[in-house]
Amino acid sequence: MKLFKGLTEQIKKLDGKWGFVLKFYLIFSLIIICLLPISYIVNNTLYSLSFKKVAVIDVPIKDETVLDQIVLRLIQEGVSVNVTNNGIVQVPDEVTARRMRAIMIQEDLIPVGIDPWEIFDRERWTIKRF
């Protein structure tokens, strides 16, 4: 408590010496310093909650039984799965998609007619990567 009183007394002494512009800059910089971490956290949270999903296999799966088996297996792994109207299975991020591809190959869940090498042929260049 003494430290707090001493700090407030020193601020009051300096208050008389500071001009309006210096006080404005001090308050403005304190507000910015407080808002930067908050905006960083909110930005990362919104990015992770965005609807940007990654396809596990880029080919639509037409067979309902195979699609159900794949979805059930991905749910067993605790992955949030989204199936589009045309039958493309999507997961939240690329790391999860790679892991799920490996599981699908290990357990022979690749639908008939899909070349297994197409699963790993994933050249996706964005502007940032280029």
Place of tokens 């690329």: 94
Do 95 and 66 reside in the same domain of the chain? yes
Asked if residue 128 is part of any domain, the answer here is no
Do 34 and 64 reside in the same domain of the chain? no
Q: What percent of the chain has pLDDT over 90?
A: 2
Quote the pTM value: 0.53
- Among 74-78, 90-94, 122-126, top mean pLDDT goes to 74-78
Asked if residue 127 is part of any domain, the answer here is no
Identify each DSSP E strand in 4-115 by its residue range. Answer: 54-55, 82-83, 89-91
Count of domains forming the chain = 2
3-32 exposure pattern, b = at least 16 Cβ within 10 A, e = fewer: eeeeeeeeeeeeeeeeeeeeeeeeeeeeee
Domain hosting residue 97, numbered range: 54-120
pLDDT at 72: 92
